[in-house]
């Protein structure tokens, strides 16, 4: 049984001297963008500037009174744009290759972002998938999930989070 992160790293790491040859199956590439057929994403605003708050406020957990503990669609859009967005485009033989603001060995980008919302101004409560290519939210479930989230995460004060992010991976892209 693996007991430490070092042991986990050691047991799951590649040894470049023991690796056998491999090839890329260019005819069987994974889908680069996850889509939910039949669900049109709610498009989020994209022309937003960076937040006007000092990083020291964020690090100390102190925000000016103008930064109320309220989240609206614009703030959520900005969070998603700053954490997981398309940063560049390069043409290649089959079309365009889009780069993202997250690291990914081999540019397969396996991570998908979901967000559960509770009280976001301008958005119905529910579970949403971030549709990166369209910079929008595909609503997977339209209902208040906060009581489930509080129960599963065991928040100490049982307060409901406004935003709960879930990161998943598509294994075929790994």
Write down the CATH superfamily of domain 40-173: NADH Oxidase (3.40.109.10)
CB contact set of 96 (below 8 Å; sequence gap of 6+): 89, 90
Q: Give me the residue spans of the domains in the chain.
A: 40-173
List the structure tokens of 120: 């976001």
Q: What 3-state DSSP class applies to 76?
A: helix
Give pTM, 2 decimals. 0.76
User: Percentage helix, strand, coil, to 5, in the chain?
Assistant: 25, 25, 50
- Give the position of tokens 């609206």: 72
- Give the position of tokens 């994403």: 41
Q: Give the DSSP H/E element, type plus range, for residue 12.
A: helix 5-12
Per-residue pLDDT of the chain (174 residues; tens, 9 = 90+): 557 878 877 777 777 777 777 666 767 777 778 899 999 999 999 888 776 766 566 556 666 555 556 788 998 998 898 889 888 888 977 788 888 888 776 777 888 999 999 999 999 999 999 999 899 999 999 988 888 888 888 877 777 888 999 999 877 776
């Amino acid at each position: 049984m693996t007991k430490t992160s070092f042991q986990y790293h050691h047991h799951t790491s590649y040894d470049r001297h023991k690796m056998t040859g491999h090839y890329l199956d260019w005819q069987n590439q994974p889908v680069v963008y996850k889509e939910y057929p039949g669900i049109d994403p709610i498009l989020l605003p994209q022309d937003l500037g960076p937040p006007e708050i000092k990083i020291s406020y964020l690090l100390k957990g102190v925000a000016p009174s103008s930064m109320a503990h309220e989240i609206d669609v614009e703030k959520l859009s900005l969070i998603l744009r700053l954490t997981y967005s398309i940063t560049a485009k390069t043409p290649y033989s089959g079309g365009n290759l889009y780069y993202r603001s997250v690291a990914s060995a081999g540019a397969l980008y396996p991570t998908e972002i979901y967000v559960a919302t509770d009280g976001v101004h301008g958005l119905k409560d529910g579970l949403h998938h971030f549709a990166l290519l369209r910079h929008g939210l595909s609503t997977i479930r339209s209902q208040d999930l906060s009581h489930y989230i509080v129960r599963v995460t065991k928040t100490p004060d049982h307060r409901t989070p406004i935003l709960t992010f879930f990161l998943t991976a598509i294994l075929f892209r790994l």
